[in-house]
């Protein structure tokens, strides 16, 4: 039986179509869900700088995504948006994947933004000029971005190391911008737990005395005893399973942003970041960025030791984790990061 060239061409096309269908993993795939809602708590912070870069430089669009980012007062509020269904993905602290599993709600982190929390705890020089130890914080008012956020978690851990419980202090949500500055300056809070660029501004004005700092890898190890995963992109396990191509596209954009940040100079950062994030002082903003630069993940990979350190920190103060069998392997995946790094070498 003889085939014409036309028949051969048709047969070849059918073969290639079938090959691409069954071997699609070898090729770029279209996101199943192109419109994605991301919730974040404190978008102006360096903690979430990779997210801002991915948005500002158009990396999400390059991956075929139409991303909408909603900014909340803190990570706990962003998490509520995910649980409530108004957000598909959260740009938030890794610890939430653990605390939510304890409540039988499974969320998974799939790309790391920061390998150090960058969170700083400082006492007010106005209301606590004679501070000597953690014991002095009993009965004091502590300002965090939002109760239940990563800032309050870090504060709880520091308190626990000093012999205090969360109930020994009063937590007040002050956000991550002007509200936090106002609360400290008016004496509404005695302690602030926040991030840069706010912290560097307060240091410059001699408004706080730092008592715990996690802006560098060395300081993070000193506080937590090991690598502490910070900001991630996380979503429900169901979302990741249902939309693997969308999850991959999000990861690709974030890894690309992380790699851009590794090479970018201070002037590049200033140009890429919205002007209102810079608190009216570019020089101070750049200074603050240089303090946290090593805290940014170079490639989005969540270190295997990190989840154990995070669990240990939470267990130090969270009674809801008592007796719970947390499966850390379900709190994160590096599957998508590996593929993203292969794409953006």
Q: pLDDT for 198-219, tens place per residue?
A: 999 999 999 999 999 999 999 9
pLDDT of residue 316: 94
Least confident window among 7-11, 105-109, 113-117? 7-11
Q: Percentage of residues in the chain with pLDDT exceeding 90?
A: 88
**What confidence score (pLDDT) does residue 20 get?**
40
Question: In angstroms, what CA-CA distances link 63 with 33, 49, 111, 246?
Answer: 12, 19, 16, 9
User: Tokens in use for 309?
Assistant: 């350190």
16 pLDDT above the threshold of 50: no
Contact 41, 145 (CB under 8 A): yes
Residue 7 pLDDT grade (very low, low, confident, very high; cuts 50, 70, 90):
low
Q: What is the pLDDT of residues 108-164, one digit of tens each?
A: 999 999 999 999 999 999 999 999 999 999 999 999 999 999 999 999 999 999 999
Please name the residue that has the structure tokens 């693997």: 244
Query: How, if at all, do strands 35-41 and 66-72 pair?
Result: parallel
Q: Which of 154, 151, 187 is nearest to 75 (CA)?
A: 151
Neighbours of 319 (CB within 10 A): 9
- Residue 17: other Cβ atoms inside 10 A: 10
Distance CA 192, CA 183 (A): 9
**What's the pLDDT score for residue 323?**
84
> How does residue 279 score in pLDDT terms, banded at 50, 70 and 90?
confident
pLDDT at 257 over 90: yes
Give me the mean pLDDT over the 220-229 stretch.
95
User: How sure is the predictor about 173, in pLDDT bands with cuts at 50, 70 and 90?
Assistant: very high
Reported residue count of the chain is 345
Give, in degrees to the nearest 5, the angle at Cα 71 between 297 and 78. 75
According to DSSP H, which parts of the chain are helical?
Answer: 5-22, 49-56, 59-62, 75-84, 95-101, 150-161, 178-185, 198-204, 217-224, 237-242, 244-263, 266-272, 282-292, 306-315, 335-343
Higher-confidence residue of 66 and 178: namely: 66
């Amino acid at each position: 039986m003889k085939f014409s060239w036309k028949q051969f061409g048709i047969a070849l096309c059918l073969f290639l179509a079938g090959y691409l269908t069954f071997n699609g993993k070898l090729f770029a795939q279209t996101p199943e869900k192109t419109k994605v809602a991301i919730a974040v708590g404190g978008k102006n912070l360096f903690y979430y700088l990779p997210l801002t870069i991915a948005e500002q430089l158009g990396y999400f669009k390059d991956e075929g995504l139409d991303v909408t980012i909603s900014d909340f007062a803190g990570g706990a509020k962003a998490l509520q948006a995910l649980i409530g269904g108004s957000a598909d993905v959260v740009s938030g602290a890794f610890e939430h994947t653990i605390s939510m599993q304890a409540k039988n709600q499974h969320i998974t982190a799939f790309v790391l933004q920061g390998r150090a929390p960058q969170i700083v705890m400082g006492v007010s020089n106005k209301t606590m000029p004679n501070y000597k130890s953690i014991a002095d914080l009993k009965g004091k008012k502590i300002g965090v971005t939002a109760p239940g956020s990563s800032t309050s978690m870090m504060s709880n851990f520091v308190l626990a190391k000093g012999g205090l419980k969360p109930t020994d202090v009063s937590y007040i949500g002050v956000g991550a911008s002007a509200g936090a500055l106002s609360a400290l300056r008016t004496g509404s809070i005695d302690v602030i737990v926040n991030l840069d660029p706010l912290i560097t501004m307060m240091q410059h004005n001699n408004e706080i005395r730092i008592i715990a700092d996690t802006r560098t890898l060395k300081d993070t190890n000193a506080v937590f005893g090991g690598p502490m995963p910070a900001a991630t992109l996380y979503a429900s396990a169901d979302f990741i399973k249902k939309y693997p191509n969308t999850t991959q596209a999000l990861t690709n954009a974030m890894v690309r942003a992380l790699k851009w940040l590794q090479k970018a100079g201070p002037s590049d950062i200033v140009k890429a970041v919205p002007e209102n994030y810079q608190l009216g002082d570019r020089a101070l903003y750049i200074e603050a960025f240089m303090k946290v630069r090593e805290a940014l993940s170079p490639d989005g990979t969540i270190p295997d030791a990190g989840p154990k350190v995070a669990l240990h920190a939470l267990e130090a103060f969270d009674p809801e984790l008592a007796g719970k069998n947390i499966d850390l392997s379900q709190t994160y995946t590096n599957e998508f990061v590996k593929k993203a790094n292969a794409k953006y070498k």
